[in-house]
Amino acid sequence: MKAAFFYPVRVYYQDTDTGGVVYHGSYLNFMERARYEWLRDLGFTVDTMIRSHKMIFLIRSLSIEYFKPAVLDDLLDITVKVTEMGRSRITLQQQILREQGTLASATVHAVCVGSDTLKPISIPVPLRQKIENGHHE
């Protein structure tokens, strides 16, 4: 489990409140996009996971801390880093950075489930290997 994946996000008006400050819920959307792109970078789109591996990830829990606000037109880097992986669960550390300063930090616990049953299943071996090796397409 190697270095963090970075995904750039520009803050748009729709992400902010009337004062131009990023709404707290928007940070979760930024992190979701980064996780999606991280999986895509590993070669696992949501479509691939469902069709080829009959699985998806569900968020079991998420803990987030906010340190400084992002504002309209900021360019942010959203990180994804695997900190732990079990048979069917994965723990990710995510940060929202602006010019290397941390604006928010989250710990995300996700569970691999069957796309038809929504019950925990093993993380597919090809995905597990790519995560462990930090291999990106």
**Residues annotated as catalytic (active site), given as ranges:** 17
**Environment class of 127 (CB within 10 Å of its CB; exposed 0-12, middle 13-18, buried 19+):** buried
CB 109 within 8 A of CB 59: yes
CA distance to 49, 103, 112, per residue, from 119 (Å): 15, 34, 8
How far apart are alpha carbons 109 and 101 in whole angstroms?
24
CB 98 within 8 A of CB 69: no
CB 92 within 8 A of CB 80: yes
